[in-house]
Amino acid sequence: MTALTPADVDLTTVLADAHLDNPVMTASGCAAAGQELHQFFDVSELGAVVTKSVMRDPRSGRPTPRMAETPSGMLNSIGLQGPGITAFLARDLPWLLQHDARPIVSIAGSSLGEYAELARRVGNTPGVAALEVNISCPNVENRGSVFACDPFQAARAVAAVRRDTPRGVPVFAKLSPDVTSIVEVAEAVMEAGADGLVLINTLLGMHIDLTTLRPLLGGGTGGLSGPAIRPVAVRAVWQVAAALPGVPIIGVGGIRTGADALEFLLAGASAVQVGTVIFNDPSAPRRVIAELRADLAVRGFAKASDAVGFAHRSTPGST
Amino acid sequence: MTPGTAVSRRRTTAQAGRGPLQVDGEVFSVKRVGDYFHLTIVADGIAERTRPGNFVALSVGDDTSANLLRRAFSIYRVKPAGIYGGTVEIIVAAHGPGTSWLASRHRHDRVNVVGPLGRPFALPKQPVACALVGGGYGSAPLFGLAEKLRERSCTAHMVLGASTEARLFGALEAKRAASSVTVTTVDGSVGIKGVVTDPLPTLLARHDIDVVYSCGPMGMLRAVTSVATQHGAWSQTAVEEAMACGVGVCMTCVLPVVGDDNITRMVRSCVEGPVFAGDKVRWDAIGTVPAGTYGTSVPSRRP
């Protein structure tokens, strides 16, 4: 094995029909629509910018407190506050395209009709690299049960999006780890037409305030994210990669460094998303790209794609 | 964050010369002041961009810290780079693991600083009479503000209040910086026994105050705004809302604020604040999403 320098490493990534310069993206909800982070680094350097989930209508979100720091992580309960799709398409998406970013637009619906409408409006906008379907939302047509927690409902949401998204724009389904079998949900949404998977969304958690003796978050429960959940995310990527070989997977959950990102590639992810660590280090996505490059080089991986799923090989170390 | 990487002192590509910087800072000194800690951090480039009311967001611990969220502090003072690097000064109340970590730093320790952040205090264009009201270490940003006001030939009357003398910050410095100083403590250990809003109506009337600036706990800001509005003065409040990022991406630090179009929105205190016109904040509704807020027509999620 000849010594590689970080500059030699080929980071180009193919995810279904999306071709990216590198496998590092922002995670939805941790980078808004890119503008704030552009103060710290050029967002066009990222593989993609995954925008905060947009809904059809403007949404005020939940009352405060909306977050609690937890060991190596945090709980959030934002409630999908956002401007709605019309303002997003008028203001946020054009900004990303003008700044040469690769936008992956996360959409969230509260009914199948809303998912379909969002898919049409986003999917038909030129320049969108892919759609990410946030199915961790309550379905108002099904007594508020969360789409992601039931393989059948998850598949219906994804099918609604895929049917109304133009061919050539890949659709990625973001799955919740709060299920009995994530492989079962993964199979269902792939069957429904997803082009790939994003693993994982936050885990449902709670923090009780010892002063008020009540749940701290305004919404009661919140989504747990950060390094605390990384082993859960790596496990989910591993299980799904083993069960569904060849399915493009984007790994997300607690990535803080390039080494963490490499762990996801080895487990079977072709790309990764950097989320909560942005709150700690707004330059983190850019730093993770540089660190991943070095971490691949030192292990002799000339291409990031060579590392994808490497941990599944029966003889570790042989290439 | 990682020392020695290109992250340090990286400035914006889009807005070179403006906006916040991320700086790998170095602790210059930590001094105890009453119940608080006065930190001076060498963080080049921040001073030149700072205006009174701006804040900084500091990371806690090293690159493997279990406390991921930045802590936000209003900027007490800045000194531009001279013989030494530029510095930024903050006042810390050590009441949790993050603030205790910061308070226990030593000279030459590294602290990552993002700033200056947020909208600063709006300054009057005319030489008017101003009152500056600080609760506890909330007085920290008022000294730089007083200086700027007096440069504009405004008067700057300070009212500083706290529960006890040890929790007052800057009462001595105020004598230098301000046109007059009034001190209140709840326990009466120094100054008037009571709270800042007790002497405020008399002060506003006596000096015919046009603008009331305030910084401190939400309850105090609400009460100060109420007194200012009754007097017919303009109110500028710097809020303290819990933040995760400080830069506008996390959406946790929101509060209900009425816009010029009379519509209430949940706005981010980190980028649209921390300074708000006091009469625009829905103080009564903080911690809730009041009925009629923009975006509430959609059924909200249940926990």
Q: Tens-digit pLDDT profile for chain A (319 aa)?
A: 568 999 999 999 999 989 999 999 999 999 999 999 999 999 999 999 999 999 999 999 999 999 999 999 999 999 999 999 999 999 999 999 999 999 999 999 999 999 999 999 999 999 999 999 999 987 788 887 899 999 999 999 999 999 999 999 999 999 999 999 999 999 999 999 999 999 999 999 999 999 999 999 999 999 999 999 999 999 999 999 999 999 999 999 999 999 999 999 999 999 999 999 999 999 999 999 999 999 999 999 999 999 999 999 986 555 4
Q: What is the per-residue pLDDT across A60-92, written as a single tens digit (0 to 9) for each?
A: 999 999 999 999 999 999 999 999 999 999 999
pLDDT at B1 over 90: no
pLDDT of residue B299: 46
Closest CA in chain B for residue A73: B68
Residues from chain B contacting residue A77 (CB–CB below 8 Å):
303
Which one, of B289, B142, B301, lies nearest residue B224 by Cα? B142
- Quote the CA–CA distance of B21 and A50 in Å, as a whole number: 23
Closest CA in chain A for residue B299: A140
pLDDT of residue B204: 98
Inter-residue contact B18 to B12 (CB < 8 Å): yes
User: Would you give the DSSP letter of residue A88?
Assistant: I
pLDDT at B5 over 60: no
Q: Quote the minimal CA–CA distance from A243 to chain B in Å.
A: 32
Which one, of B276, B288, B283, B195, lies nearest residue B239 by Cα? B276
Inter-residue contact B297 to B267 (CB < 8 Å): no
pLDDT at B303 over 70: no
User: Long-range pairs for A294-298 at CB < 8 Å and ≥24 separation?
Assistant: A294/A6, A294/A258, A295/A258, A295/A259, A295/A261, A295/A262, A296/A4, A296/A6, A296/A9, A296/A11, A296/A262, A297/A4, A297/A5, A297/A6, A297/A8, A297/A9, A298/A4
List residues bridging with A240 in a β-sheet.
Answer: none
At B16, the pLDDT band (50, 70, 90 cuts) reads low
The encoded tokens of residue A84 equal: 């709605």
Phi/psi region, residue B4 (left: phi>0; alpha: psi -120 to 50; beta: rest), is: left
Q: What is the per-residue pLDDT across B214-242, written as a single tens digit (0 to 9) for each?
A: 999 999 999 999 999 999 999 999 998 88
Write down the H helix ranges in chain B.
46-49, 97-103, 142-151, 171-177, 200-206, 218-231
State whether B249 and A74 contact (CB < 8 Å). no
β-strand pairing of A196-199 with A249-252: parallel
Interface test with B, best of A40, A86, A260, A274 (most B CBs within 10 A): A40
Burial environment of residue A316 by CB neighbours within 10 A (0 to 12, 13 to 18, 19 or more): exposed
pLDDT of residue B302: 41
- Quote the CA–CA distance of A37 and B13 in Å, as a whole number: 10
Phi/psi region, residue B17 (left: phi>0; alpha: psi -120 to 50; beta: rest), is: left
- Range B283-301 average pLDDT: 83
| A67 interfaces chain B, CB cutoff of 8 Å | yes
- Quote the CA–CA distance of B57 and A279 in Å, as a whole number: 10
- Quote the CA–CA distance of A55 and A86 in Å, as a whole number: 10
Closest CA in chain A for residue B22: A40
Q: What is the per-residue pLDDT across B122-171, written as a single tens digit (0 to 9) for each?
A: 999 999 999 999 999 999 999 999 999 999 999 999 999 999 999 999 99
State whether B301 and A80 contact (CB < 8 Å). yes
Question: What Rg do the C-alpha atoms of chain A give, in angstroms?
Answer: 19
pLDDT at B12 over 70: no
pLDDT at B298 over 70: no
pLDDT of residue A316: 55
By annotation, the residues of A acting in catalysis are 137
Residues from chain A contacting residue B298 (CB–CB below 8 Å):
55, 57-59, 110
Inter-residue contact B273 to B267 (CB < 8 Å): yes
Q: What is the per-residue pLDDT across A123-157, written as a single tens digit (0 to 9) for each?
A: 999 999 999 999 998 778 888 789 999 999 999 99
* CB nearest A63 (choices: B5, B248, B287): B287
Residues from chain A contacting residue B2 (CB–CB below 8 Å):
287, 291
Amino acid at B97: P
Chain A, residues 132-151, CB within 8 A of chain B, namely 137-138, 140, 144
The encoded tokens of residue B221 equal: 């800001």
| B291 interfaces chain A, CB cutoff of 8 Å | no
Which one, of A112, A279, A141, A136, lies nearest residue A221 by Cα? A136
Inter-residue contact B43 to B23 (CB < 8 Å): yes
First to last CA, chain B: 35
Dump strand ranges (E) for chain A.
Answer: 13-15, 18-20, 24-26, 49-50, 67-70, 73-76, 103-108, 130-134, 138-139, 145-146, 171-175, 196-199, 203-205, 208-209, 214-215, 222-225, 249-252, 271-274
First to last CA, chain A: 10
Which has more pLDDT, B167 or B84? B167
β-strand pairing of A67-70 with A73-76: antiparallel
pLDDT of residue A1: 53
